[in-house]
Structure 1
């Protein structure tokens, strides 16, 4: 049975982390496109990622979170059954990321100063703006040999490596906070209590039954309502059956 994992962030910081994580996955996918028209999507994703980095003070969030994880690991190092080698390796990685973050003023700023990217970026915000008559130098680049394009793409993506490393590690820490447990949504609805330590709610459920979860709530409790993908005419669209699924509050 196909299984889907849904993730619902409970704070703006984690929303931004998830957005960046997904954009990096899209960036990896689009960077492998071969045709010139497919390659245009690479720039679209790249500029979306840069826009997000410029709007957010993500560097401060990274430093704060790494500092918290570092203190937690130091505390766990006193536990007699801890894997000292793995803990030491993780601490070393955190120290490295923290050092690099403190040496960097603005994440992604080097790409903002790239002359080629700067010359085409504004047109991508206009619907249908990335046309050959508007950006002949872009289409000249798209006609270059694959090795030339791959070299440039690798250079651009590499300059976002620090952001990717932080997102990958911090999301790994977050997802490992808790394990999945089996629960039941009676009449398609499940309610839980929010604690200060919950930043992300993960759901794992069947993906072939024609329903999906929607989360709502406040700082005290949350509710998960399962909805029909194709609701019947005149119905609210909510599922009335009992649904077994798994949840992890991270």
Structure 2
């Protein structure tokens, strides 16, 4: 079986925010594990982006609503034939633990990092291109020269509070991604569109394309329908829609 690239597109604002936060949490986790001071900078940039998103939206309420919606859905399928009760219990227990952990976060998510004077100074300078270099924020430069163990300990002090958010988002998105079986389809001359079932609202769509195809999908959609245009990647000039029939896998994640 050939390898494939996966492209995702959210179909509502809640999932859009969760996908962005998942991306940023993965960025922070990746760079925290590295020892170079440039990696620490990248991890802090990701953390500051998380703080910005959580300041603009009530992520705690949105996560709890999504977990509650998932638990209600699972309760409806509990007694259907063929349901693996042990697997279902494991998922339900995970969701309930995630909800409890979110409830235990005091105040608004990210408030500890948001109120930290050191991070405030970096965030203010980051709004200027190159503004957080050594002569602009000497305290930051001093921090970056400390041993990696000290930098990681300081980072943990900022991220431990929001770790339950990362775990809850990972669980919610994992349930959505595995809620349907991929379909093998063809996009005639690089175009495909489909109406969505309003009785079973989709959360996001996933598009898989074989690595042998030098195309990528431009996806647009909302709760009623979506469309895909497979564009030919090019190093020069503007991308153009493929004129070939493009095979791909489509998953409409409805959970």
The question of a shared fold, defined as TM-score above 0.5 by the shorter chain, is answered with yes
For this pair of structures, how many residues does the alignment match? 249
Check the 8 A contact 1:179/1:248 in 2, yes or no. Answer: yes
Aligned to 1:7: 8
Check the 8 A contact 2:11/2:222 in 1, yes or no. Answer: no
Q: 1:249 aligns with which of 244, 249, 252?
A: 252
Worse-superposed segment, 50-59 or 89-98: 89-98
Aligned to 1:72: 73
For 1:78 and 1:2, the matched residues in 2 are separated by 37
What aligned pairs does 1:81-230 form with structure 2 within 5 A after superposition? 81-104=82-105, 105-196=107-198, 197-217=201-221, 219-230=223-234
For 2:136 and 2:147, the matched residues in 1 are separated by 22
For 2:3 and 2:70, the matched residues in 1 are separated by 34
- Structural RMSD (CA): 2.1
For 1:206 and 1:89, the matched residues in 2 are separated by 33
Relative to structure 1, the CA distance from residue 98 to residue 132 in structure 2 (aligned partners, 3 Å threshold; closer, same or farther) is same
Worse-superposed segment, 80-89 or 22-31: 80-89
CA shift, 1:218, in A, is 5.1
Aligned to 1:47: 48
Relative to structure 1, the CA distance from residue 76 to residue 5 in structure 2 (aligned partners, 3 Å threshold; closer, same or farther) is same
Deviation per CA, 1:54-89: give whole Å up to 9, x if none.
111221211111111112222233235433333223
Length-normalised TM-score, structure 1:
0.91
What aligned pairs does 1:18-57 form with structure 2 within 5 A after superposition? 18-57=19-58
1:238 is aligned to 2:241 = yes
